[in-house]
Amino acid sequence: MESFTPLTAALGGTLIGLASAVLWLGNGRIAGISGIFGQLLPAGRSVLWRLVFLAALVAAAWASARLFPQLGAGGVEPSVLAAPPAGWSIPMPLWLIVAGLLTGIGTRIGNGCTSGHGVCGIARLSTRSFVAVAIFFSVAILTVTLTGIV
């Protein structure tokens, strides 16, 4: 936690909240990234706004990383992927595949992800989202405790 910066965290949270509010007020949709991405295929009639939202999300992250490199997760140091725990001897590609699949399965079981439940659901005072976020945080704490990855 030596790189914690409350100002940039508050700015990022504000921008995420603003983007979520604009999508909700302008399109009547919740900014749950797993739902937006997961409903791209099979292609339906509501694909265009999803593609625009995801493209803007990636473009904004890329642009902010280029324009303000000092605001990154590691300060001026480039961010790196979390490697498997030292004693586990799992190759990095397999580690990433398993992590991605577990994340996808979790979002399907939880009927949403941290952006849908944590940002939009809690803002709407959804009981289901409060429960989901409590489970997300509990599992994250357990995972960090068991793996030692911070």
4 vs 23: CA distance, rounded Å: 29
Q: What percent of the chain has pLDDT over 70?
A: 89
The tens digit of pLDDT for each residue in 58-114 reads 898 888 878 877 766 555 566 677 778 778 788 888 988 988 888 888 888 888 888
pLDDT at 79: 62
- φ, ψ (nearest 5 deg) of residue 78: -70, 145
Question: Whose structure tokens read 């593609």?
Answer: 51
* CA gap 115, 3 in Å, rounded: 23
